[in-house]
Structure 1
Amino acid sequence: MIPEVSLEDYFTHILLPLPESLVGKLDLIVQILKDSGVITAKGRWKSFPADPKNQKKETVVFKKLSNIFDAVIAVGKNLDGELEQTFELFVEPNTVPDHPHGGKSRPDGFVKQKARRDGEVEQKEEPPHAWFDIAHPQEFKLNESPSGVDDDASKVVYSMQQILALDPRRRFTTGSTIENRTTRLWFLSRSILFTTESFDFMTDHKRLVHLYLSLAFSCSADSGWDPSVKFSHVDPLTHKRIYEITVNTKQGDEVVTEIYTTVSILSEVSADAMGRATRVWLVVDSNGKYHVLKDLWLDRDRALEHEIRADILRDVCQTQDKATEEKLRSHMLTPIAHCKVRIEGVEDDTTAVMMRGYDLLGARMIPFRTPPVPAGPSTQSRGLALPSDPDSISQSINSRPPPNSPQQTISPPNRVVIDRSSTKANVPKVHARYHYQIVFKEYATTIYDERNLGHIFRSMEGVIWGEYTLVILHNAGWVHRDLSAGNVYWYTEGSRGLLGDFEYAKLRANDIAHEIRTGTPYFMAAETLSHAYLFQPRPVQPQLLDSH
């Protein structure tokens, strides 16, 4: 099931804001376009004297959308000479945007950044188009056939998923599809995917003008980029993209700002388009010291990892003693910086900020059909929908391989097919998430990656065996709930084992359930992963009772 929202709600709450100088002037802009002949006396765009369905070449027909886009932007600039165009439209269906893993997918069109901004350095010999610069992918069909509509939906969703999965700077993305004249708009964030009611781009001039002006003059944050993560350069040796990540840690009444430069990606096994999108980086601070930075999207009802760690140490000190607390502390990763990421001073949120408080209450649900396919490899600490939400899009996005598996391109998702035979009025549930970053002092090796057997056993001795981490944790009434080979570390500098990833830890007495169930599929109960009891006891047969 996928939500379908009204055009009014989308243009009010989701679409990027118009430049302030153009607010209230859409009717004027449409009239100027009519007076200049861009819109003909017959009420259609001059670039489209005939409907696309009456044309032969899709690649030629929809390229004319660029003419309309340019004309609309020109009127906007004439009304406000100080407006800066930040995005431009390209309709080049035969062009393959540059992909870091060699992907060959080709959107029919896209709106992309017009130039490097926000202090980003222009790279030599860069390709003309790259997925990292695309803000709004598009798909077109000459005819409005069911198969064509379904194909466009699958392709635009794949493109949007790819944008969020590839780029650590991206918070959300939008897209659009056109079949003949019928146009739909799309939205994808770390929490939700939805589309809009359709409109006729040929005659609903005001809608198309509004869309193009919003896309062309938006700032990067409004277009889904994260200002706290900036692209720096491409490493000449590894050919990997290097980022500068700003973490603002609140210490009392003060905020301490530190910029960390990425060195390499340690884990992005669960960096899918939707869900937590967890990435773990090896970073270097301004003093040249190496640390580990974890960037993820947490469910709104989840506590922050550094707060959970502090609560555990407090309880250990209260229920045991200070020496035991220090012993536990020596076997835990040490956070040195952390924050909820803010956008223009407001804590980023997939609903309150990205959707400007819109809760989809006015949406209806469109049934989707996806053919059964074998499940992909599980991902670590992946958010799983509750049984009451079996159609969660988070489960349809293909998983990535486990750590250290061969590099792979992102596989296309299951084919999405819109079933128009029925619709439901049930209200979709949006699982809101916020953006969280935490930096750890220690750069340690997981025992999954460690190749020295002695180090592995010493790590397990310090964390699992004896009177150390887990025993102390349990004696204080806490359980870790995500113990795996990826969360136990060997710390060479300290010659000891460390336990990390306390984001799921909780008090045994705490029976509060969360909307999204999480865990590491390789290590979690099969029933939790499948959302069903697999081994229920058989009912006792009456005849067996009689025989006794």
Structure 2
Amino acid sequence: MATIHGDSPTRSRHTHSVQYQSSYVADSRMTLTHDIPMVPEVSLTTLMDSVLPTVPSNQINEVCEKLIANGRIETPNEKPKWECLPEDPKAAGRVKQEPKTFQFFEKIAQAIEESCSNTTESRLKLKVTGLTIPFSCRRNTSRPDGYFLMDTVNPPSTDKWSDISVPMEFENGDKEKDKIDNYAKVMWSMQHAMRGDPRRRYMHGFTCENTKARLWYNDRCDVVASEEFDINEDWRYLVRIILSILLATDAELGYDPSVVTHSPDNPGSEAVYDITIYNSKTKDPTVYRTIEIISDVGADSMVGRGTRVWSAQKVENGEPVGSVYVLKSIWVHQDRLTEHVVLEDIRAQQPTYSKYFLTPVDHGFAPLDPSDASIIFDTHSPLGRQRDLELTGKVLKTCPPPGWTPGIKTPSTSRNSVGRPGGIPNAPEEGFRDFRQLSNDPRQNYLIVFKERGKPVHELDKFTDVYTAIEGGWKGLHAVHICGYVHRDVSSGNILLLPPSDGHDTRGALMDLEYNKKVKDMTAPYDVRVGTEAFMATEVARMGHHRLSEMRSAVPKQEYTSFDVISAALDEALQSGSEQDPPRQGPPLPPFSYNPLHDMESIWWLCVWTMLWFVPPGRVTSEYQAAYRLVFSNGWDAKTRFISVADAFADRTSHLLSELRPLVWLMDLWRDSLNASYSISYQQHNTSETIQIDFKAIKFCYEQGCKFLLQLRDASKKLSFTLVPLSKALEPSTSVQAGTFAAAAPIGRFPGGSSRPAKKRRVDG
């Protein structure tokens, strides 16, 4: 019998929280290390062989011999030492700041370049400053201690992150706190370069505490650091690293050659990119020029999908022409079904549902080298050869020690991430992957162009538009289910409101199908998968079929009618003397796997989220903030109570306006229906190895959802006020003005002021 695997765990990311958007760099950096609290250590030689461009050994030996001959290396056969480093940095203590202490690295790089017989002068120069804030359109005022800077044709007045490779961090001391501080800073620099520049496929980094150094590497799958080496004793390793960087091409430094920066008219404005897509089927290249960024919040995390979305036009004869499209770039696992393939399958099986999806215009994978588009770049072969990293068994802690305080204040001139619905502080679960290990599955950069551009739910400001969009997303989701898939990532960002087009009225559409999975696919899961916490079904948040467990627990084992009966039963059990495992209510729970009910529950959560997230005029925002926190910022247990217990649902929605009570009442009815559907479906699989939801249940739940969404849309037509997102309403400068009606105090839990009692149900969950 084939092994049945459960789905991979889901965790929220700290870099998707409001803390990441802090005006303090130190606070933002903290979210990064909370997501990745430890980094695996790999052997230095395997890391260099895997991620640095190859330099012939005879060339390295020639450089080393010249360094010795020219006196750059003193006493090479006993205790080798760089001539420009007469004493260890540690001896300087805190009297001399790191940038000044470690300026010897500039001399080392210059000596290595001068010792190289390569006829072409390197475009890179190693720069140690620590006082320069490189220019970036993304919010960041960090000052890396050093980096390799691209020597551009027209040098700018200030260094730019887009021209920086191998950010470096130095510490005079070599205590544990010095190391952790360096690790956090170099990770921030690598991540910032990656998030701000879509050309970046990967980044190298470098840290040095006193004379102990490490090489770092980050791509969309992993963050790793080499084992320590001494820059004096192991000086040949340092030569190899610096020489490899100096001789590297742009592509070998991690720049994607199929993405070219097109200089904007205003030097300080957001860069524009010419992105070449090699069609998946024909391999024909088409160039698209970006117009504006629509969303880049996905690029904030060091590993993962790194999703970016732009508006873009085709380029012909060097100029943008024709229709404006939507271009999405996303790093997907190598053997995952691509979005255009899933869309083609759904459109072929269910053509009547086509209008509830976006229309692909072009699609393809970024090649390793544009000269051969058939060879696709992947993260496990960054230089075209399979990486072979050897773990040492050690991990490096990256979280700063207790008592560490925020540092630099960031000016408000540069922008934050685009495409997030905003946020209020929360405490998501630590981590989302075991970062002590390397990733198992490589990622490739997939690009797809869509015909339509819509507006995500979290950007809408009318409840009628909200429910129109969700209703279309619900119908698209049904097509996903009847074609045998589950979506697994329903959120406010991937359900859009589309304007009228191609004979269709304003409607909703479902997008982001790259995480679709066949329901019957029981193969091993991927090691990373991140959903959107607020919209997760409670079983997905727990990664277990808690509803089935609760259903079994609801069956009484024995009727206890008095305390005497309880005492007698316990005495009998104790006298038996048998030491057995606690009896189960049934067979072990099946491994967790997604099913269509989880997707449908996510739509329910999205509807609830809109009621708690959007603030009508004249309301006290603190009430909304408190209710939102109680439901969405208290973990899966709070969400489980909210959807399972009538009183919890009523309490958390009691602050809503009287005009919203019909919406609340409909959502409560839908809650009952959804819980009952889980109960009936799971009863049928009480003894099964897997939980499979049959088509009858899917059809029933879909039809019920259609009824509720239709009534929600009709009821919302009476609400004419403009909605304000809670994150904006909480801003000190924002005032939610009163609308055309007086803000009524919350009345009873349901219309008429009464509290409708919870229906009896067989499953409390």
Check if 1:496 corresponds to 2:509. Answer: no
Rg larger for:
2
Q: Which residue of 2 aligns with 1:387?
A: none
Shift of 1:443: 2.0
Change (3 A) 1:10 1:96: same
| Contact 2:137 2:269 (C-alpha < 8 Å) held by counterparts | no
Q: Which residue of 2 aligns with 1:257?
A: 285
Report the more deviating stretch, 214-223 or 234-243: 234-243
Q: TM-score, normalised by structure 2?
A: 0.58
Q: Which residue of 1 aligns with 2:737?
A: none
Taking the TM superposition and a 5 Å limit, the aligned residue runs for 1:109-148 are 109-115=146-152, 126-148=156-178
Q: Which residue of 2 aligns with 1:525?
A: 537
Shift of 1:358: 2.4
Check if 1:93 corresponds to 2:130. Answer: yes
Taking the TM superposition and a 5 Å limit, the aligned residue runs for 1:315-326 are 315-316=349-350, 325=351
- 1:69 paired residue among 87, 109, 114: 109
How many angstroms apart in 1 are the aligned matches of 2:337 and 2:444? 11
SS at match of 2:188: helix
How many angstroms apart in 2 are the aligned matches of 1:357 and 1:432? 11
Change (3 A) 1:102 1:448: closer
Q: Which residue of 2 aligns with 1:333?
A: 358
Report the more deviating stretch, 444-453 or 42-51: 444-453
Q: Which residue of 1 aligns with 2:254?
A: 224
Change (3 A) 1:85 1:445: same
Query: One-letter code of the match for 1:339?
Result: G
Taking the TM superposition and a 5 Å limit, the aligned residue runs for 1:176-325 are 176-234=206-264, 236=266, 239-251=269-281, 254-272=282-300, 273-286=302-315, 287-316=321-350, 325=351
How many angstroms apart in 1 are the aligned matches of 2:232 and 2:267? 50
Larger fraction in helix: 2
Query: One-letter code of the match for 1:93?
Result: G
Query: One-letter code of the match for 1:298?
Result: V
How many angstroms apart in 2 are the aligned matches of 1:237 and 1:90? 23
How many angstroms apart in 2 are the aligned matches of 1:505 and 1:427? 26
Over residues 258-277 of structure 1, what are the superposed CA-to-partner deviations in whole Å (9 max), with x where a residue is unaligned? 11111111111221221101
SS at match of 1:517: coil
Q: Which residue of 1 aligns with 2:198?
A: 168
Shift of 1:427: 5.5
SS at match of 1:178: strand
Change (3 A) 1:479 1:103: closer
Change (3 A) 1:369 1:362: closer
Over residues 350-381 of structure 1, what are the superposed CA-to-partner deviations in whole Å (9 max), with x where a residue is unaligned? 112358322434442315374799xxxxxxxx
- 1:44 paired residue among 81, 98, 103: 81
- 1:11 paired residue among 48, 54, 61: 48
SS at match of 1:25: helix
Alignment gaps of 5+ in structure 2: 1-37, 316-320, 403-415, 424-429, 563-765
Query: One-letter code of the match for 2:450?
Result: F
Shift of 1:436: 0.6
Q: Which residue of 1 aligns with 2:61?
A: 27
SS at match of 1:484: coil
Q: TM-score, normalised by structure 1?
A: 0.79
How many angstroms apart in 2 are the aligned matches of 1:131 and 1:296? 22
How many angstroms apart in 2 are the aligned matches of 1:147 and 1:455? 52
Query: One-letter code of the match for 1:211?
Result: I
Shift of 1:95: 1.5
SS at match of 1:8: helix
SS at match of 2:341: helix
| Contact 1:7 1:197 (C-alpha < 8 Å) held by counterparts | yes
| Contact 2:325 2:453 (C-alpha < 8 Å) held by counterparts | yes
Query: One-letter code of the match for 1:358?
Result: R
Check if 1:436 corresponds to 2:446. Answer: yes
Query: One-letter code of the match for 1:347?
Result: I
Q: Which residue of 2 aligns with 1:378?
A: none
Q: Which residue of 2 aligns with 1:508?
A: 519
Check if 1:364 corresponds to 2:393. Answer: yes
- 1:350 paired residue among 349, 357, 379: 379
Identical pairs, percent:
30
Query: One-letter code of the match for 2:326?
Result: V
How many angstroms apart in 2 are the aligned matches of 1:161 and 1:546? 61
Q: Which residue of 1 aligns with 2:561?
A: 547
| Contact 2:89 2:173 (C-alpha < 8 Å) held by counterparts | yes
Larger fraction in strand: 1
Q: How many residues align?
A: 482
Query: One-letter code of the match for 2:145?
Result: D
| Contact 1:333 1:440 (C-alpha < 8 Å) held by counterparts | yes
Over residues 84-110 of structure 1, what are the superposed CA-to-partner deviations in whole Å (9 max), with x where a residue is unaligned? 412110000111112323422111111
Over residues 98-153 of structure 1, what are the superposed CA-to-partner deviations in whole Å (9 max), with x where a residue is unaligned? 2323422111111121226xxxxx58xx4421222111011112222222122211
| Contact 2:129 2:146 (C-alpha < 8 Å) held by counterparts | yes
How many angstroms apart in 2 are the aligned matches of 1:144 and 1:223? 29
How many angstroms apart in 2 are the aligned matches of 1:404 and 1:541? 42
Change (3 A) 1:500 1:143: closer
Change (3 A) 1:115 1:268: same
| Contact 1:331 1:496 (C-alpha < 8 Å) held by counterparts | no
Over residues 161-200 of structure 1, what are the superposed CA-to-partner deviations in whole Å (9 max), with x where a residue is unaligned? 2111222111110111111111111111111111111111
Change (3 A) 1:127 1:256: same
Alignment gaps of 5+ in structure 1: 117-121, 317-324, 374-398, 407-413, 416-423
Taking the TM superposition and a 5 Å limit, the aligned residue runs for 1:471-490 are 471-490=478-497
How many angstroms apart in 2 are the aligned matches of 1:315 and 1:222? 44
What is the CA RMSD across the aligned residues, in angstroms? 3.2
Change (3 A) 1:247 1:528: same
| Contact 1:299 1:434 (C-alpha < 8 Å) held by counterparts | yes
Change (3 A) 1:299 1:161: same
